[in-house]
């Protein structure tokens, strides 16, 4: 049962344009969401997060939007740069009394120079 889904396994975007990565979840008990970026042979690197009490969080070129009614979040990267080429994972944490993160399957983003 995949509770966090990233339905696009890959995405290609021209350099300088906006990259939009999407994530859907099924468990309404999730109350905190995170995005990680992963390069080959490295561990995931934390990018940005959002609490369920907000609908938007921005940090530089990265903005995360949360639509609780649709159980959907998205990561916007603008402008996209070649160094953004990586696999992006969304993750969710619930109010379950533990720190468990549930990850999506990832989206491979390729920025075309």
Q: Which residues contact 69 (CB under 8 A, 6 or more apart)?
A: none
Considering only 23, 24, 25, 44, the residue that binds another protein (CB under 8 A) is 44
Q: Which residues contact 63 (CB under 8 A, 6 or more apart)?
A: 48, 56, 57, 75, 76, 78
Q: Is 100 in the site for another protein (CB under 8 A)?
A: yes
Q: Is 70 in the site for another protein (CB under 8 A)?
A: no
* Closer CB to another protein, 15 or 55, in the complex: 55
By the criterion CB under 8 A, which residues form the site for another protein? 2, 4, 32, 34, 36, 41-46, 49, 51, 89, 91, 93, 98-106
């Amino acid at each position: 049962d995949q509770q966090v889904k990233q339905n696009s396994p890959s995405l290609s975007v021209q350099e300088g344009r906006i990259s939009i990565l999407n994530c859907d979840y099924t468990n309404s008990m999730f109350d905190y969401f995170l995005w990680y970026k992963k390069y080959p042979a490295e561990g995931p690197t934390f990018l940005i997060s959002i609490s369920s009490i907000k609908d938007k969080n921005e940090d530089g070129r990265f903005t995360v939007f949360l639509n609780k009614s649709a159980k959907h979040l998205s990561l916007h990267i603008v402008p996209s740069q070649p160094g953004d080429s990586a696999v992006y994972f969304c993750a969710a944490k619930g109010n379950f009394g533990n720190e468990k993160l549930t990850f999506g399957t990832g989206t491979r983003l390729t920025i075309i120079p």
